[in-house]
């Protein structure tokens, strides 16, 4: 009999969002009449249609695919140069950052990249993850065998958890002990928190001091509003030697269903062989992609390219304003009802302390049953998320206004 990857057996029963779906399904079986009333503010999935410029570019690309003279088969495994050049110009050169198109690797999104990166990192690395955390960072490490078993408290042996609490503004502090690979995500999922430039400087210094690598996830970069906040880790001197950056078009261009993102792997970034010899990761990352993937479809890449045109930029700005407007309403709605609210100003997520000392899952059930609103329990993102919940601002304005009204009604029910 073939053997399986035993590491998968260490994982918690289900990834967070399927578990939420399971609970919602069970609720609807008991209360089928509630189905039309439910408002989903759980998973951060966009609701607004794709930008017109993206639609036009994808239509044109599809027409090209329908003609023998312009048809395209396999594309370059690291992405078409038209898209890598548009990204290098629009996301970096225009902001005074030195990232070349050859350092950009187009993919089907950050989630895949977060798992794929572990292919080129060796055994025995000490990994640091924030807590609360985007669960993909943890689960992919479990799958790759980089952790021990899951403990009763939900944490895995062998991972270093970096607490993000109200006291540290939900920004993990640089640890006293050396780590080899650290995941950071800003604007943060799930807390909506943002890192300052001096705080990011401290992390880059730490990584350079310990020869560590920072995997810097900027999936929510388009939401940064603080003028002084860093939009990219490459704004910090020395980051090219210690950081990879993970980008997504999901939350900027509304691509959650289209699938496209990219990583940046600077040529200077190195890691050690088993024999202790430093070697660049760039060639390994390219080898990984050209062996395991044929990149993303031509039509999708033309759509992503359109996001960097003048119309595309305007349309992205409008989408982001819409979701940030929702976040403001949700923040105000929760605060008005006396809840402690965090995030939502540089991010599409609002992080709220559960009222009346409830646990995260108690609050989830309460909001589901009493308000018909699906939120994400903070504890689903880690131990430090217990006692909090996350509301996603990815929704229609009408739904968000209804959520705010229902929060008001909830207050009356609980008093």
From the list 43-51, 83-91, 125-133, 206-214, the region that binds ligand MLT by CB under 6 A is 43-51
Smallest gap from Cβ 93 to ligand MLT, in A, equals 27
Residues 45-64 that bind ligand MLT (CB under 6 A): 45
Beta bridge partners of 379: none
Specify the stretch interacting with ligand MLT by CB under 6 A; choose among 31-39, 41-49, 199-207, 301-309. 41-49
The residues pairing with 128 across neighbouring beta strands, listed in sequence order, are: 160, 182
**Shortest Å distance, C-beta 20 to ligand MLT:** 10
Output Rg (C-alpha) for the chain, integer angstroms: 22
Task: Give the number of C-alpha atoms closer than 13 A to the C-alpha of residue 404, restricted to the C-beta side.
Answer: 20
Q: Kindly tell me which of 128 and 135 has the beta carbon lying closer to ligand MLT.
A: 135
Q: Torsion angle, CA of 248/361/343/405, rounded to 10 degrees?
A: 110
Q: Which stretch binds ligand MLT (CB under 6 A): 39-47, 140-148, 200-208, 257-265?
A: 39-47
Coil/strand/helix, residue 336: helix
* Paired tokens of 324: 């940030």
Taking CB atoms, the residue at the shortest distance from ligand MLT is 44
Nearest CB to ligand MLT, comparing residues 16 and 404? 16
CB of 102 to ligand MLT, least distance (A): 27
Q: Closest by alpha carbon to 141, among 161, 168, 159?
A: 159
Strands 278-280 and 270-272: antiparallel
Angle at 95 between CA 345 and CA 169, to 5 degrees: 30
Distance of closest approach, residue 124 Cβ to ligand MLT, in angstroms: 28
Q: Confirm if 347 and 392 have CB atoms less than 8 A apart.
A: no
Position among 20, 41, 44, 264 found at the interface with ligand MLT (CB under 6 A): 44
Please answer whether residues 201 and 231 qualify as being in contact, where contact means their C-beta atoms are separated by less than 8 angstroms. Answer: no
**Residue from 39, 58, 111, 221 binding ligand MLT (CB under 6 A):** 111
* Residue 43 within binding range of ligand MLT, rule CB under 6 A: yes
Closer residue to ligand MLT (CB): 135 or 266 = 135
State the nearest-atom distance from the C-beta of 349 to ligand MLT, in Å: 8
**CA pair distance 71, 64, nearest whole angstrom:** 6
The mark string for 166-205 relative to ligand MLT (x by CB under 6 A, - otherwise) is: -----------------------x----------------
Residues 260, 49: Cα–Cα separation, whole Å: 16
Minimum Å gap between C-beta 297 and ligand MLT is: 20
* Among 210, 227, 231, 206, residue whose Cα is nearest residue 219: 231
- Interacting residues with ligand MLT (CB under 6 A): 43-45, 111, 189
């Amino acid at each position: 009999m073939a053997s399986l990857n035993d590491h998968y057996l260490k994982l918690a029963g289900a990834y967070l969002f399927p578990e939420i779906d399971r609970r919602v399904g069970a609720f609807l079986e008991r209360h089928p009449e509630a189905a039309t009333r439910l408002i989903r503010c759980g998973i951060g999935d966009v609701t607004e249609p794709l930008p017109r410029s993206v639609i036009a570019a994808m239509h044109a690309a599809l027409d090209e695919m329908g003609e023998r003279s312009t048809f395209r088969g396999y594309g370059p495994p690291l992405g078409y140069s038209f898209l890598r050049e548009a990204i290098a110009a629009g996301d970096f050169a225009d902001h005074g950052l030195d990232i070349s198109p050859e350092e950009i690797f187009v993919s089907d999104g950050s989630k895949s990249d977060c798992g794929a990166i572990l292919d080129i990192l060796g055994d025995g690395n000490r990994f640091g993850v924030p807590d609360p955390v985007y669960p993909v960072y943890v689960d992919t490490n479990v799958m790759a065998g980089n952790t021990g078993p899951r403990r009763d408290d939900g944490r895995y042996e062998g991972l270093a958890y970096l607490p993000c609490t109200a006291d540290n503004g939900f920004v993990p502090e640089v640890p006293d002990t050396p780590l080899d690979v650290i995941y950071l995500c800003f604007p943060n999922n799930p807390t909506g928190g943002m890192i300052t430039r001096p705080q990011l400087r401290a992390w880059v210094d730490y990584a350079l001091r310990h020869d560590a690598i920072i995997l810097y996830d900027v999936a929510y970069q388009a939401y940064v509003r603080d003028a002084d906040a860093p939009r990219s880790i490459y704004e910090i001197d020395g980051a090219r030697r210690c950081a990879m950056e993970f980008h997504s078009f999901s939350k900027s261009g509304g691509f959650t269903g289209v699938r496209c993102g990219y990583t940046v792997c600077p040529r200077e970034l190195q890691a050690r062989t088993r024999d202790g010899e430093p070697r660049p990761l760039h060639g390994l990352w390219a080898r990984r992609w050209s062996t395991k993937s044929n990149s993303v479809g031509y039509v999708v890449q033309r759509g992503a390219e359109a996001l960097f045109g003048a119309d595309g930029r305007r349309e992205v700005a409008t989408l982001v304003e819409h979701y940030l407007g929702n976040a403001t309403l949700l923040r105000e709605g929760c605060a008005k009802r006396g809840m402690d609210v965090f995030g939502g100003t540089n991010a599409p997520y609002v992080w709220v302390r559960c009222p009346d000392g409830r646990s995260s899952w108690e609050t989830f059930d309460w909001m589901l049953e009493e308000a018909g609103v699906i939120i994400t329990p903070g504890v689903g993102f880690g131990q430090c998320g217990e006692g909090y919940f996350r509301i996603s601002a990815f929704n229609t304005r009408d739904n968000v206004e209804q959520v705010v009204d229902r929060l008001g009604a909830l207050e009356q029910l609980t008093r």
